[in-house]
Amino acid sequence: MASNFDYDYVIIGSGFGGSVSALRLSEKGYKVLVIEKGKWYKKEDFPKTNWNFKKWLWLPIFKMFGILKMTIFRHATIISGVGVGGGSLVYANTLPIPKSGFFTSGNWKGLTDWEAELKPHYAVAEKMLGATENPKFYDSDIALQKVAQQMGRSDTFEAPKVSVYFGKSDVEVKDPFFNGEGPDRVGCNFCGQCMTGCPNNAKNSLDKNYLYLAQNKGAKIIAEKLVTSVKPIDISDGSSGYIVDFKDATSYFNKGQGSVKANGIIFSGGVLGTVRLLLDMKANKNLPNLSDEVGNHIRTNNENLSLITTRDKNLDLSKGVAIGSIFSPDDDGHVEAVRYGAGSNFWKVLIFPMVFGKNSFIRILQLLKELITHPMVWLGNYFRKDYAKRTVILLFMQHLDSTIKFKRGWFNLSSKVTSGLKPTPFIPMAKTLADKVAKEINGNAFMMSTDILLGSPSTAHILGGSVIGKDKYSGVIDTKQQVFGYKDMYVCDGAAISANPGVNPSLSITAMTERTMSFIKKK
């Protein structure tokens, strides 16, 4: 590598793909810089509940620099993570391996034996993330187990592997994962606060494994910087390196503008970060060789979020890890019992009673009927002080394919349907599950208001937009996740997921990036 570079590789984003890249490249002797737009968060910095918007929500225009971002599109409301560690700060720790159909469908279908190739990398990813089977079931999990039994699917009910340290509750120990090379850890106390930022040092977020070890190997991480430009130095295919420009992400005045030169680039900003930056770079001709497929083949994981609130004051649905149990209600579906910690009651202001209908007019009429006939069921939730303790969230996902496309808009990206049916939150199986759980816990089912009013689903698992293809006419990156038309430029995040997994994708992103890094030779 030429000596006039500031870094051998610049990694844009510090989520699952960026963190893996940082460690593996550093281990191979490369000088690495990770640029993250969010803040550094330690266990004492996280919000105690999701009412602390300043620490929970990412809304820079209102000087809120928290760990969770909500972005509303025509066809989906997207929930994503921000901060050093990316989505691992807010995700629900769950690490399932997709069913075989994931590896033989979508844009990457037939390009290699993906299931066989990724199998050893899934094993490494599980070890690095501290994947451990949830050892305890609580009220939410017991209710889901009973529903699985009622549906004749108890054989598919299980405790998931989760990225949590289960030592003695609240007892600190020396690093139990990396032979003492990692940070000290504290045993999980099952407080349910995983998704607002673990306050107990039990969650195996990326700053406690990949990023921590990468820094020990010399990787540099700079936070609160937003990459605005990536362009080749001299030769158009990047074989002479790249210039990366960035600015302050948490300041109105952009005092921290700067640029660095690097031999290689890893895009790891998640779908919203990576796809937007690639679309911008193609439009302004900084990266003119990019495939026209940038922004295409985006998947929502076909999800439905329903929230069931019990009337039984003896139940505590907030106790446990964020996702403590899962099962498959049919051959295409996957459902999980999700929880927030006690006091994290914010979501109650964004929900309406669950109604299904062909259009928003019909659904609004149904809501008015609910308000007239059952006013306290609806309005009572807004005044419920123990909402999180009384509410279980059902996350339903399907391995059924449909895609949308993102393109540049005036202020943000915009979306349109490109193949299959339009993404919808109104999935019959999701309603069946919600009704059954509601009956089991003596409760009522609700949905996100945006889902009902807009007819579009809420998802924490937006995927694709820079998919794998056999050439630049069918994808943005090749089977090694290198960008077509550019040297030493890779996409390693959810944007590279090229089929619909139907389960939480974090482990798959980690495994795919491990595979990609295995192809890069030592310096």
| Catalytic positions | 461
Contacts of 428 (CB under 8 A, 6+ apart): none
Contact 502, 301 (CB under 8 A): yes
Q: What is the SS3 string spanning 225-242?
A: EEEEEEEECCCCCCCCCE
- Quote the tokens at residue 434: 């919600």
* Cα angle, residue 278 at apex, residues 274 and 282 outer, rounded to 5°: 175
Radius of gyration of the chain, Cα coordinates, nearest whole angstrom: 22
Please give the Cα distance from 421 to 418 (Å, whole number): 9
Contact 419, 299 (CB under 8 A): no
| Residue whose tokens read 């050893």 | 120
Q: At residue 125, what are phi and psi to the nearest 5 degrees? A: -60, -40
Number of Cβ within 10 Å of residue 461's Cβ equals: 26
Cα separations (Å) of 67 from 79, 247, 381? 11, 19, 26
Strands (E), 249-357: 258-267, 298-299, 303-310, 323-327, 333-338, 351-353
Please give the Cα distance from 427 to 431 (Å, whole number): 7
Give the DSSP H/E element, type plus range, for residue 453: helix 449-454
HSE at residue 32, side-chain half, CA atoms within 13 A, is: 29
Contact 391, 343 (CB under 8 A): no
Cα separations (Å) of 300 from 76, 317, 516? 7, 27, 24
| Residue whose tokens read 């090749």 | 478
- % helix / strand / coil in the chain, to the nearest 5? 30, 25, 45
Strands (E), 107-184: 131-133, 161-163, 172-173
Nearest to 288 by CA among 297, 279, 300: 279
Which residue intervals of 336-394 are DSSP H helices?
360-373, 375-382
Contact 103, 497 (CB under 8 A): no
Contact 500, 301 (CB under 8 A): yes
Contact 499, 102 (CB under 8 A): yes
Give the DSSP H/E element, type plus range, for residue 500: none
Nearest to 315 by CA among 145, 139, 136: 139
